[in-house]
Structure 1
Amino acid sequence: MTTTTSVPAAGATSVPALPLSPPVNLRDLAGIPILGGITRPGFAWRADDLSLADDASARRLVGNGLSAVVDLRSVAEVEVTGRGVLGSLPVAYHHVPFMASIGTAMKDAAIREDAWDQSRFADMYIGLFENAAPQIVTALAVIAHSPGATVFHCAAGQDRTGVLAAALLLCLGAETEHIVRDYARTGENIDRVSARVRPVIEPVMARMGVRLDPAARAATRTVYSEAPIRGLLEHLHTAYPDPLQPLRGAGLTDGLCERLRRRALSA
């Protein structure tokens, strides 16, 4: 069930009436084998755009132990919706944009229609992991030090969220196949995700002079692929003696990884 609001969301500059609904790509990173055991429930969640969450969904997250939100969206995206309902609830908010401008990235992609093909996103993921390494380390530190559950999200909960999930699981000692399996679960939700985020992405892209028609056409003929996350992980394991090396260069320490593992394994 969806509802609409004509009231500007917390932190937004100017917002039209937007549909509010439960997130459709929200999941607990629980039950994943890591160094020393498996991840426990209520440690870290990943999601699609939480600024569009309806009141009931937002309050349910807080009731289930949510203490911090890490928002990976660009400044332009946040300007459209702000923090949403969660902005009025007792939850710490951390804006850690992985891209300076999603519009610029999509303008570059729009030059070639096949660049919208999700199966070709590995280079983008590699660029995010290496170029946004300081932001990734910041997000990991928030997860490590939050007293309750942390949820991180972008728009679809696929790309920027997928890169952060991979970084977190690498830090925890998860193997490639378990990281890929988590990423692939988004494919089960991608149609609903696309429908949910389109009302926000369209005005963001319109500001940048980008039309979404090529992306929409590509989405209708592209099967959701594991290739991007596999490409990222293969690159990290072959290009560096330690797949976490780009993050270590940005401040990731063994102590932070150990704290994350302790948090992931025990309440």
Structure 2
Amino acid sequence: MTSTRTGRWVRLDGTTNTRDLGGLPTADGGRTVPGRILRSDNLQTLSDDDVRLLVDEIGLRQVVDLRTTAEILLEGRGPLRDVADVTHRHFTLLPERGHHTDVFAVEEDDAELDLPAGWLESLLPRQVAAHDEGESPAVRSYLGYLGQRGDNVVEALRALTHAGPGASVVHCAAGKDRTGVVCALSLAVAGVPHEEIVADYAMTAEVIDALVAKLASSPTYAEDMQTRDVASHTPRAETMARVLALLDERHGGPLGWLESHGFGADEQAVLRSRLRD
């Protein structure tokens, strides 16, 4: 059976890494509001009880999916796709050679899955800026999302900003890397200090064994899970701390990066109010 919330965790039958961005302290002494934005791993295996809890109790009305087109089509329809009140938005944070304009309008039974051999390699950015070559692989990956798909990072934030009433959930496959970057920027806009953003990111380590086992059960991710040990998948606090430090050095902070990418003060204020008021 699906259980209810445990602190910030939302315990579901079909996910391992779902939690609420509410309840985090802000620099001005406030706290983020629960029930506005959730973060999660893949939602494909939600149970009926999970769907009821998310939609009826939490009030979920939007899914922001950061996976690639290939991942979505290979995994197939999830149960939330059949809920009329829930809107799905797709913003891949990885370069794609081809994509469907609206992947959720494609019926998987009719789609021609013309996927490149070795497509899983796309889980790491294809290019690394020269000045980032000395960074750790995870830091390079996160900087790659910002450098190569900054457009979709911003569009994902816009979807969260202008979602309307109800909760949104942002997710990828594991809910730690792509999701971690988008959530870190969201929390920065809300005024959450860097150390609390880092702590939120690192919480996934608490469930990493179950998370890797879940992904290994899917043919889409099994090879990647089986060829690397659990430690290599475990998020480290220093990774997000380094990314935030680099944003501070290069852009004057996460808000400066957002401003330079077209997500200015007005939109930041709306997102802040969504997470704060």
Normalising by structure 2, report the TM-score. 0.76
CA distance in 2 between partners of 1:219 and 1:57 (Å): 27
Structure 1, gaps ≥5 residues long: 3-19, 110-118
Determine helix, strand or coil for the equivalent of 2:63. strand
Aligned residue for 1:91? Answer: 86
Aligned residue for 1:235? Answer: 246
Aligned residue for 1:141? Answer: 158
CA distance in 1 between partners of 2:267 and 2:40 (Å): 23
Letter aligned with residue 73 of structure 1 = R
Letter aligned with residue 105 of structure 1 = S
Cα offsets for 1:5-31 (capped at 9, x unmatched):
xxxxxxxxxxxxxxx942110000011
**Matched pairs, number:** 233
Cα offsets for 1:164-222 (capped at 9, x unmatched):
1111111222211010010111000111111112233x4367xxxx665432xx32577
Kindly state the Cα deviation for residue 52 of structure 1 after the two structures are TM-superposed. Answer: 2.1
Determine helix, strand or coil for the equivalent of 1:94. strand
Letter aligned with residue 37 of structure 2 = A
Kindly state the Cα deviation for residue 107 of structure 1 after the two structures are TM-superposed. Answer: 7.8
Aligned residue for 2:186? Answer: 168
Letter aligned with residue 163 of structure 1 = V
Determine helix, strand or coil for the equivalent of 1:189. helix
CA distance in 1 between partners of 2:67 and 2:168 (Å): 16
Determine helix, strand or coil for the equivalent of 1:38. coil
CA distance in 1 between partners of 2:221 and 2:23 (Å): 36
The structure with more helix, counted as a fraction of residues: 1
Deviates more, 1:236-245 or 1:78-87: 236-245
**Residues 142 and 243 in structure 2, CA contact (< 8 A), matched pair in contact too:** yes
Identify which of 261, 265, 269 aligns with 1:250: 261
1:76 aligns with 2:76: no
**Residues 120 and 228 in structure 1, CA contact (< 8 A), matched pair in contact too:** no
Cα offsets for 1:74-97 (capped at 9, x unmatched):
111001123400000120100111
Determine helix, strand or coil for the equivalent of 2:92. coil
1:48 aligns with 2:41: yes
Q: Does the C-alpha gap of structure 1 residues 221 and 149 become closer, same or farther in structure 2, counting only changes over 3 Å?
A: closer
Deviates more, 1:33-42 or 1:92-101: 33-42
CA distance in 2 between partners of 1:72 and 1:108 (Å): 14
Aligned residue for 2:18? Answer: 26
Q: Does the C-alpha gap of structure 1 residues 79 and 178 become closer, same or farther in structure 2, counting only changes over 3 Å?
A: same
Kindly state the Cα deviation for residue 248 of structure 1 after the two structures are TM-superposed. Answer: 2.3
1:214 aligns with 2:209: no
CA distance in 1 between partners of 2:137 and 2:269 (Å): 33
Aligned residue for 2:139? Answer: 122
**Residues 60 and 168 in structure 2, CA contact (< 8 A), matched pair in contact too:** yes
Kindly state the Cα deviation for residue 120 of structure 1 after the two structures are TM-superposed. Answer: 4.0
**Residues 189 and 268 in structure 2, CA contact (< 8 A), matched pair in contact too:** yes
Structure 2, gaps ≥5 residues long: 3-11, 97-118, 127-135
Determine helix, strand or coil for the equivalent of 1:67. strand
